[in-house]
Structure formats: structure tokens, C-alpha cells
């Protein structure tokens, strides 16, 4: 789909079967079944009350189908701006969606399921939801979004609250070079340079930092990890988009980092 970015999926990469649902109109309602994890999910659209199939909920144990929760959106005034959750092991299944939280411009719904496991966040503000995808079987194994940003979309930042805000974007150029000052324990500073050799440096060398390691993955190669691979991991799988800038907080070190992404086309 032109101008669409896929976020995720988060969760397992092998369990269940892949699924994908593209919206033909605005989202009206989300139905989930939840218990110790997210059992299943389905969607209802505004036009003709079109309902997707149910993704997940195929456990042969009727006691493991969970409680039904319906999240009705007050269309056309209410819309999603963020979906977050956790994923991890459940009932001897290695990696499934454990919890989900839906945030709109009016309300926060959830968390549903058990709020444990590895967290993930998928921001939607300033974007239209184009659909959902993932994997499912007995449970909702993996979950991701298709979004269509109005321009670029911001993800993150990951890290701590310290430091002063920074932002570096390339406009109509591209990210040409990233210079990393690091040692075996953490990231000291980052310097970004665009295609016109415009640059910006964030953070200074000191003995402490929040961002302890960082890796950059391109369409051809993985660079890193740089720093020390300790602490809480963060990642954002993206397809159909390109990074056009970075943001976060810095002072004596890199406190936090996030990215700006826009569709490839």
C-alpha cells in the first residue's frame, strides 16, 4: 500500500499462522478475549459494520478462551493514538502477546491480559490506521500495525528523563553518517550527518549514561552493537519506511533516543 509503514510485529515469529487485515473504512470497535494473556482479537469498521475474522482463540481448552472485552470508539470523534503492550512466555508457549493497552484521544482502555513481559509501544498520533497484522493460533502470537503518516511519525524516545531535548531531521536529504563515541559499557555521544554534510552532536563523554548500547540495521548490513549489551532492550521493526531524523535527550551523555520515520514513497 502506497505511503503505508508497518510497525512490528511484536511477539513470536514462529507460533501460529500469519494474518493480515487491511481496513476499508475507519475503525469502530475492537473485540479481544483476555485472561492471563491475549487470547484473540477482531475489528469492526464503520462502513456496513464490517467485521474482520477473529485472530487467535483456537485453543481446544474451552477454559482457556478468556473473557470477551469490547472497546467501542465514539466515531468520528474518537480515534486511536497509541497501542502498547507486552509479550513473552505463557502456558509453555515461548512468545505470545501477554497484554494490550489502547489509547485514544479521549481515553485509555486497558491494560488487558497480564501486564508482565517485554514491553512494546506503537504510536499512531498524526497517522491513519491502515490495518493490522501478526500471527495467531491458540492465542494472539504476534501483533503489528499498518499506519499511514501525514508526514513523518515519531517513535520513542527510549531511555531516561534526564538531559535536554534534541532533534535532528534531514528534510529532503538523507542520513549519510552516524558517528558514535562509546566504550565497552555505554554510549557517550552521537553525531548525525545528512547528505548535505549538515550535522549535529548530542552528548559528551562521561562515566555514566542511560543508553548503554545501540545498533543500526540497514537494508544491507547491521552495524553494532556499540557499547555494552546490558539493561532493558528496545527495538522497533519497521518496513516500508525510512528514518529521516533522531530525537531524544542529552547532556553529559545520551539520556534517551527516538527516531522520525516517513514512508519510502
Give the CATH number for residue 99. 2.100.10.30
pLDDT, position 208: 46
Asked whether residue 206 carries a pLDDT value surpassing 70, the answer given is no
Is the domain of 85 the same as that of 19?
Answer: yes
Asked whether residue 193 carries a pLDDT value surpassing 80, the answer given is no
Is the domain of 157 the same as that of 121?
Answer: no
User: Predicted confidence band at 16 (pLDDT cuts at 50, 70, 90)?
Assistant: very high
The mean per-residue pLDDT over the stretch 112-136 comes to: 90
Number of domains in the chain: 2
pLDDT, position 62: 84
DSSP the chain: -TT-EEEEEEE-SSSSEEEEEE-SS-EEEEEEEESSSEEEEEEEESGGG-BPPPEE---S-GGGS-EEEEEE--TTT--EEEEEEEEEEETTEEEEEEEEEEEESS-EEEEEE---SEEEEEE-TTEEEEEEEEEESSSEEEEEEEEEESS-EEEEEEE-S-SEEEEEE-TTS-EEEEEEEE-SS-EEEEEEEETTS-EEEE----S--S--EEEEE-SS-EEEEEE---S------EESEEEEEEEEEESSSEEEEEEEEEE--
Which residue, of 149, 171, 203, is where some domain finishes? 149
Position with higher pLDDT, 146 vs 237:
146
Distance CA 147, CA 138 (A): 27
Asked whether residue 32 carries a pLDDT value surpassing 50, the answer given is yes
The mean per-residue pLDDT over the stretch 191-213 comes to: 56
User: Predicted confidence band at 85 (pLDDT cuts at 50, 70, 90)?
Assistant: very high
Contact 26, 46 (CB under 8 A): yes
Is the domain of 43 the same as that of 129?
Answer: yes
Is the domain of 122 the same as that of 65?
Answer: yes
Position with higher pLDDT, 10 vs 62:
10
Is the domain of 16 the same as that of 134?
Answer: yes
Is the domain of 143 the same as that of 123?
Answer: yes
Is the domain of 161 the same as that of 89?
Answer: no
pLDDT, position 199: 47
pLDDT, position 171: 66
Which residue, of 119, 149, 179, is where some domain finishes? 149
Asked whether residue 143 carries a pLDDT value surpassing 90, the answer given is yes
Is the domain of 16 the same as that of 107?
Answer: yes
What is the tens place of the pLDDT at every residue in 38-77? 999 999 999 988 999 999 999 998 888 999 999 999 999 9
User: Predicted confidence band at 122 (pLDDT cuts at 50, 70, 90)?
Assistant: confident
Is the domain of 82 the same as that of 117?
Answer: yes
What is the tens place of the pLDDT at every residue in 91-109? 888 899 999 999 999 999 9
pLDDT, position 20: 97
pLDDT, position 109: 98
Which residue, of 149, 164, 182, is where some domain finishes? 149
Is the domain of 75 the same as that of 204?
Answer: no
pLDDT, position 19: 98
Distance CA 152, CA 38 (A): 31
Grid coordinates 508526514 are at which residue? 151
Could you tell me the residue range of the domain that residue 217 belongs to? 153-263
Asked whether residue 132 carries a pLDDT value surpassing 90, the answer given is yes
Mean pLDDT of the chain: 84
The mean per-residue pLDDT over the stretch 115-128 comes to: 85
The mean per-residue pLDDT over the stretch 214-237 comes to: 78
Asked whether residue 123 carries a pLDDT value surpassing 50, the answer given is yes
Is the domain of 137 the same as that of 159?
Answer: no
Is the domain of 198 the same as that of 243?
Answer: yes
Amino acid at each position: 500500500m502506497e505511503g503505508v509503514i508497518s510497525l512490528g510485529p511484536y511477539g513470536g515469529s514462529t507460533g501460529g499462522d500469519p494474518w493480515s487485515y487491511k481496513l476499508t473504512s475507519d475503525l469502530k470497535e475492537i473485540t479481544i478475549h483476555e485472561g492471563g494473556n491475549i487470547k484473540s482479537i477482531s475489528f469492526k469498521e464503520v462502513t456496513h459494520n464490517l467485521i474482520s475474522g477473529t485472530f487467535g482463540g483456537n485453543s481446544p481448552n474451552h477454559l482457556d478462551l478468556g473473557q470477551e472485552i469490547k472497546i467501542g470508539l465514539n466515531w468520528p470523534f474518537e480515534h486511536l493514538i497509541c497501542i502498547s503492550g507486552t509479550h513473552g512466555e505463557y502456558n509453555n508457549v515461548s512468545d505470545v502477546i501477554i497484554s494490550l493497552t489502547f489509547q485514544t484521544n479521549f481515553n485509555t482502555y486497558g491494560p488487558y491480559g497480564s501486564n508482565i513481559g517485554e514491553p512494546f509501544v506503537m504510536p499512531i498520533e498524526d497517522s491513519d490506521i491502515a490495518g493490522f497484522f501478526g500471527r495467531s493460533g491458540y492465542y494472539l502470537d504476534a501483533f503489528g500495525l499498518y499506519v499511514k503518516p501525514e508526514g513523518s511519525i515519531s517513535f520513542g524516545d527510549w531511555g531516561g528523563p534526564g538531559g535536554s531535548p534534541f532533534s535532528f531531521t534531514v528534510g529532503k536529504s538523507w542520513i549519510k553518517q552516524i558517528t558514535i563515541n562509546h566504550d565497552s559499557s555505554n554510549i557517550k555521544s552521537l553525531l548525525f550527518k545528512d547528505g548535505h554534510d549538515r550535522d549535529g552532536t548530542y552528548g559528551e563523554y562521561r562515566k555514566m549514561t542511560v543508553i548503554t548500547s545501540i545498533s543500526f540495521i540497514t537494508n544491507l548490513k547491521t552495524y553494532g552493537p556499540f557499547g555494552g549489551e546490558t539493561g532493558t532492550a528496545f527495538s522497533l521493526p519497521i518496513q516500508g519506511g525510512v528514518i529521516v531524523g533522531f530525537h531524544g535527550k542529552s547532556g553529559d551523555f545520551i539520556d534517551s533516543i527516538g527516531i522520525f520515520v516517513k514512508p519510502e514513497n
